[in-house]
Amino acid sequence: MDLFEKDNQKKTKTGFNILSTDSTDGHGGYGTGVIDLNNVSPIIVNTENDEAFVDMGALHARSAVEKRIKFTPNREDSPNGKLYWLVWVSVNNKGAKPFYAGVTACEMVIDMETRRGYKSLPEHVNRMDKSLKGHIIVDHMDEKSKKILGDFLKSHNEDMWKHSELKLRQELLGEEQ
């Protein structure tokens, strides 16, 4: 056997399988237990610019504000940083009506000048999981950030906002019904 002859060697394909259907349909084979991220969206809340926007890059820790930033678990490493919130928003259906099922927020502090930032990666992963499970965790956000997020979700789809839990609407915008 000639190890340098490439024509005789079998080529193995490596790649990722994209699973967009239910991976737990009963067969118990490949893909069972895979988390389906089709119904979760990361939203970045920038309190300094009074804006919120969807940034799918955040699913892989590569949002527009995270790029080219070296993160550490120490808040002291970015004393002049700006506060951003990464909010995981999961959508589900009540009958045929979609609603915001899980909304969880994680803070990030980013200093663009020094390209340093603070975030807790375990917190980000755990909060994404909580969002997928339908939890609402926004009570640690400041009032301005809550309002920006609430206004964004409401303006994005008012019907989804109306069908969402009262707890979410109360915590973000102080709605009574």
Tell me which residue has tokens 């906002």: 161
Domain ranges of the chain: 39-173
Q: What residues contact 41, with CB distance under 8 A and at least 6 apart? A: 54, 56, 88, 89, 91
Q: Which residues of the chain have pLDDT under 70?
A: 1-37
Would the pTM count as exceeding 0.75? yes
The pLDDT value recorded for residue 18 is 40
The pLDDT value recorded for residue 173 is 93
How would DSSP label each residue in 102-119? EEEEEEEEEETTTTEEE-
The pLDDT value recorded for residue 175 is 85
